Amino acid sequence: MSIVLSTLNARYIHASLGLRYLLANMGELRVQTQLLEFIINSRPIDIVESLLKDKPKIIALGVYIWNAEETLQVVKLLKQISPETIIILGGPEVTYETQEQEIVALSDYVITGQADISFRKTCIDILNNKKPLEKIIKAEHFKLSEIKLPYGEYTDEDIKNRVMYVEASRGCPFKCEFCLSSLDKTVYPFELTLFLGEMQKLYDRGVRSFKFIDRTFNLKINTSIQIMGFFLSKMETDKVYLHFELIPDHLPEKLKAVMQRFPEDSLQFEIGIQSLNPDIQDIISRKQDNEKVESNMNWIRNNTSAHIHADLIIGLPGETLTSFATGFNELVAMNPHEIQVGVLKRLRGTPIIRHTDEYDMRYSPTAPYEILSNNIIDFSTMQKLKRFARYWDMIANSGRFKHTKTFLLGNKPFENFLEVSNWIHAETDQTNHIALPRLFVLLKKAMVEILHLNEEQTNEYLLKDFADSGIKGQPKFVLQAKENVKVFKRRSESRQQRHKINI
C-alpha cells in the first residue's frame, strides 16, 4: 500500500466518516490506499508500528480537537523513525491557525478545508514526484454532486460493531460564534434520490441505526419529511433507530405529524439550546426564539416517543453563574431526557476569539482548549461547574437514578445539584471511576445530610433505582442506615443506664 489513511477516534465504535469520503474518492489510487483507525487510548508507539508496517510512502492523519495531543505524539515518532514517509494532515484542528502549531511544523503538508477531491490530487502529484509548491494546501471548492458517497466503504465489521454516521447535507446557515459551522456560508444538500439509495444499501446490509451528522436536519422541512418517511416505511417490518440534530425553534405542523408516527425507541433528537439568556445569545450571534423553543420542547416530550438530548454551554462570554442557573432550571422544567452540560471550548478559527479581551476569556493552552475563567466566573468556580457537568452525566444523564432524580432536584435543580456536586468532590476527590454501589451511598448521604431531604423518601427512591441497577447483594446505603439506628439505640440505652445508676 502506497497510502495510509488514519485517525485516532475517541472510542472504537466511532467510525470516521471523513476518512471514508477520502477513500471513496481516491479513484485510480483506491487500490493503493489502506484505511487504519485507532483510539486515543492506544500507545503512540503501537500506532506508529501499525502505520509503518507496509512501508507506505504517504500517511494521512485526520486531526480533531479530541485527538490533537495524541496525534502530535504519533507524528513526532513517525518523523523520528521514518523521516522519508510523507505526512499529510487534514481536519478542523489544522485548518486554521496553522502557523502556531507544532504538529503542522512537523508534517510535510496540510490540506485545509474539505479535502474530498484535493487529497487524491495531492497524492497523485507526490507519487509522480511533483511536490506541491506550498506546505499549506487550501482544498479546492467542489459541488457535492462531484464526489462519490462513502457508505460502501463501511465494512461488514463496521456495520456489526460501530456507529453508522450519515449526512444528507453539509453546512449550517447559523453564525453561533463558538462553533466552526459558523464559518459556513450556507447549507448544501446531497441529491436526495442518490442519498436515499445509499441508505437503502446500508439497510439491505443490516444497518438498523443511523446517526445523522447534519447540523440542521429540519432546516428544509420537505426534505426532512421525505427522509423520515423513507425510514418509517422500513419500520413496518423492522425496528430502525435514528438520531437527528434539530433546530429547536423550527417545528411546523407537517413535521410534527411525521414525528408522531415513530414508535418507541426509534428516534433521538439532539437539540442545541446552548443558552436561554437573550443577552448572551446576542453576544455570540445566536438567533433563537426562546418561547418557541420551550413550546416545541414541551410538545416533543408530551406528544412523541422521541428521546430528547439537549445541550447547554458553561462559560459563554457575559454569562453569570446566576443566569446560567436560571437557564438550566428552565431547561430542566422542559423535561428533556438528557441535558448535556458542555464546557466552552475555543475551537481554532471560530469567531468566539473576538470576545477574549473584553471578557478576559482564558482558555487552556492544550486541546480541547476549555475555558478556565473569565471576568465574571473565576477559575475556582469554573472548576466547580466542570465537576457539576461530570457528576450530572454520572447521575442525572446515566438513567440509573430515574426515580431519585426528580426528588433530588426539587424546585431548585441547579442549586441542589451544585451542592451535591461540591460535597461529592470534597468527599471523594474524584470525578470518574466511582463505583455504582458507592455512588448510591454517596448520593444517599448527600441528599439527607446536605440537602436535608426526608430520609424515608430518599431511601424509597434510591431502593427503586437500586433494584433496577442489577447490583447484587443488599444496598449498602440502607444497611448503613440500619446500623446507624442500632448505634443510636445502644448509645441511648447506655445513657439511660448511666442515668439510673446516678439516681
Specify the CATH number for the domain of residue 76.
3.40.50.2300
Give residue-wise pLDDT tens across range 327-374.
999 999 999 999 999 999 999 999 999 999 999 999 999 999 999 999
* Average pLDDT rounded to a whole number, residues 471-499: 58
Closest to 24 in 3D by CA, of 11, 5, 39: 5
Q: Is residue 387 part of a domain?
A: no
Q: How many other β-carbons are positioned within 10 Å of the β-carbon of residue 203?
A: 16
- The candidate with the shortest Cα–Cα distance to 49, out of 95, 4, 105, is 4
Q: Indicate if 479 and 404 belong to the same structural domain.
A: yes
Q: What is the mean pLDDT of residues 380-384?
A: 98
Both 410 and 320 in a single domain?
no
Same domain, 256 and 188: yes
- Residue 339 contacts residue 396 (beta carbons within 8 Å): yes
Instruction: Give pLDDT, residue 185.
Output: 79
pLDDT-based confidence at residue 298 (cuts at 50, 70, 90): very high
The model's confidence at residue 488, banded by pLDDT at 50, 70 and 90, is: very low
Query: CA-CA distances (angstroms) from residue 165 to 37, 54, 205, 210, 503?
Result: 15, 29, 15, 6, 80
By CB neighbour count within 10 A (0-12 exposed, 13-18 middle, 19+ buried), where does 13 fall?
exposed
- Grid cell at residue 343: 464546557
User: Are 139 and 170 contained in the same domain?
Assistant: no
Dihedral over Cα of 468, 470, 476, 482: its sign: positive
pLDDT 10s digits, 410-435: 999 999 999 999 999 999 999 988 99
Residue 88: predicted pLDDT? 98
Residue 414 lies in a domain: yes
**Residues 428 and 359 placed together within one structural domain of the fold:** no
> Cell numbers 503538508 label which residue?
109
pLDDT at 484 over 70: no
**Does 151 fall in a domain?**
no
364 is in which domain, residue-wise?
164-377
Is residue 116 situated within a structural domain?
yes
Which region, left, alpha or beta, applies to residue 429 given φ > 0 means left and ψ of -120 to 50 means alpha? left
Task: Please state, in angstroms and rounded to a whole number, the distance separating the CA atoms of residues 81 and 122.
Answer: 24
- Please tell me the predicted confidence (pLDDT) of residue 497: 59
Mean pLDDT, range 88-94, rounded to an integer = 97
What is the tens place of the pLDDT at every residue in 112-133? 999 999 999 999 999 999 999 9
Type of residue found at 434: I
pLDDT confidence band for 173 (50 / 70 / 90):
confident
pLDDT tens for 209-245 read 999 999 889 989 999 999 999 999 999 889 999 999 9
Nearest to 393 by CA among 491, 469, 312, 464: 312
Q: CA-to-CA distance for 444 and 462, rounded, in angstroms?
A: 8
Whether 245 and 170 map to the same domain: the answer is yes
Q: How many domains does the chain have?
A: 3
- The kind and range of the H/E element at 87 are strand 86-90
Instruction: Tell which residue, 158, 262, 268, 259, has the closest CA to residue 212.
Output: 268
- Rounded distance between C-alpha atoms, residue 272 and residue 274, angstroms: 6
Alpha carbon distance 304, 409 (integer Å) = 25
* Within a domain: 123: yes
- Say what the pLDDT of residue 491 is: 47
pLDDT at 496: 53
